[in-house]
Structure 1
Amino acid sequence: MKKWIVAAAVVTALSGCAQLPDYASAVKTPPPAALVGNWQTFGPQRGLVSDQAKASLIITAEGDTLDCRQWQRVIAKPGKITYFDGEWVNVNNEVRVMPLELEGTELHYDKLIMQKVTQLSAECQKARDDLANAAAAKPVATAAPTAFDTDEEHQKKHKMTYIEKEKKPKN
């Protein structure tokens, strides 16, 4: 059994298809200064669904990213930069790992060729702001409720648990 595990690990390592098990396991790493900024596609791209579609990639100095695709609607996926398997990659929240290759002033990313821009499109700016507002509004949970608990039920359940513990006689 151990031989099969070792053989599978060697084959995976040699094939270059090493995977991250989940989003949390990707370590957010500050990228090189040349990668930091707003990147956008210009003109038709083979990596986009339509000739009218646009893609933007926002990379912060801390290593946060936002992949924003727009055509008939806007799809924005947050992620993070990490140095993985010898190259800089963007890992989005769906655990999709996409290499970032800078060639001169062009960024090659997910079958796209992007150029640095000073300002985001209005649609991607709105998507970024919406995600930031949603993250700021999310309360810090002390105990996670189950899928069937309402906030009131959750509070009662945990309050009752605490009260029941207090009332138990000590032996």
Structure 2
Amino acid sequence: MKKWMITTFAAITLAGCADIPNYQSAIKTPPPENLVGNWQTMGPQKGLVSKEAIASLIITPEGDTLDCRQWQRVIAKPGKVTQFSGDWVNVNNEVRVMPLELEGTELHYDKLTLQKVQQPTVECQQALAHEDAAATPEDKPKASGTSSKNHHKASFKNAKS
């Protein structure tokens, strides 16, 4: 039984699980300039669910990130860049810690190889705009005659107004 526990602990440690207790405790750190930008997979990759799937990682100069995966739908997870044990990592809002390893012009991240692109896909731009809107303070003054219930309708694809 002890062998099984040691093997499990070693597997978890080697898998990149870090001891960050919660998302708020990870300190957002401005990344090096060569990590900042829009990164995207090119072609099929083993780390994605399908050969048609696309992964994007947006890294801002302030250290905010958006991990955007799209295939039949878009899944976007906000995060932040920080240093952990001397390495640059992305910590997403689910406290998943993934190393950011730059090798020449390729970024290795979460079993993916990404290349820098001018701008993210339209779907990821929409997800980023949605995240930015969600991050704005709720207590800012509203224009008269507007309802808070209608502000999400335009952010969903194929939504009816």
TM normalised by structure 1 equals 0.71
- Counting only pairs closer than 5 Å after superposition, residues 137-152 of structure 1 correspond to structure 2 as 138-139=138-139
Does residue 80 in structure 1 map to residue 80 in structure 2? yes
CA-CA distance at 1:18 after TM superposition: 3.8
SS for the counterpart of 1:131 is helix
Decide which structure has the larger Cα Rg and report it.
1
CA distance in 2, matches of 1:137, 1:49: 35
Shift of 1:73: 0.3
1:121 counterpart residue number:
121
Determine helix, strand or coil for the equivalent of 2:75.
Answer: strand
Distance in 2 of aligned mates of 1:133 and 1:48:
28
- Aligned with 2:27: secondary structure? coil
- 1:25 deviates by 0.7
Is 1:49 matched with 2:59? no
Partner amino acid, structure 1, of 2:98: M
Contiguous gaps of at least 5 residues in structure 2: 1-8, 141-161
Equivalent in the alignment of 2:132: 132
**TM superposition shift of 1:24:** 0.7
What is the Cα deviation at residue 138 of structure 1?
A: 2.7
Q: Which amino acid aligns with 2:122?
A: A
State the TM-score, normalizing by the size of structure 2: 0.75
Look up the match of 1:166: none
What is the rounded CA distance, in whole Å, between the counterparts of 2:22 and 2:120 in structure 1? 29
- Paired position in structure 2 for 1:69: 69
Instruction: Find the aligned partners of 1:18 and 1:120 in 2 and give their Cα distance.
Output: 28
CA distance in 2, matches of 1:22, 1:56: 24
Cα separation, 1, equivalents of 2:119 and 2:26 = 28
Question: Secondary structure in 2 aligned to 1:125?
Answer: helix
Aligned-pair identity in percent equals: 70
Amino acid at match of 1:79: G
Shift of the alpha carbon at 1:136? 1.8
The structure carrying a bigger helix percent of its residues is 1
Query: After the TM superposition, which residues 21-40 of structure 1 pair with which residues of structure 2 at under 5 Å, given as runs?
Result: 21-40=21-40
Question: 1:44 is paired with a residue of what secondary structure?
Answer: coil
Using the TM superposition, give the Cα deviation of residue 120 of structure 1 relative to its aligned residue in structure 2, in angstroms.
Answer: 1.0
Aligned length: 128
CA shift digits 1:145-166 (9 cap, x unpaired): xxxxxxxxxxxxxxxxxxxxxx
2: CA distance, partners of 1:65 / 1:136: 16
1:90 counterpart SS class = strand
Counterpart Cα distance in 2 of 1:28 and 1:119: 23
Counterpart of 2:36, as a letter, is V
Cα distance in structure 2, aligned partners of 1:52 and 1:58: 20
Q: Deviations over 1:66-108 (max 9, x none)?
A: 0000000000000000001120000000000000000000000
Q: Highest relative contact order (Cα 8 Å, sep 6+), 1 or 2?
A: 2
- What is the alpha-carbon distance in structure 1 between the residues aligned to residue 79 and residue 103 of structure 2? 22
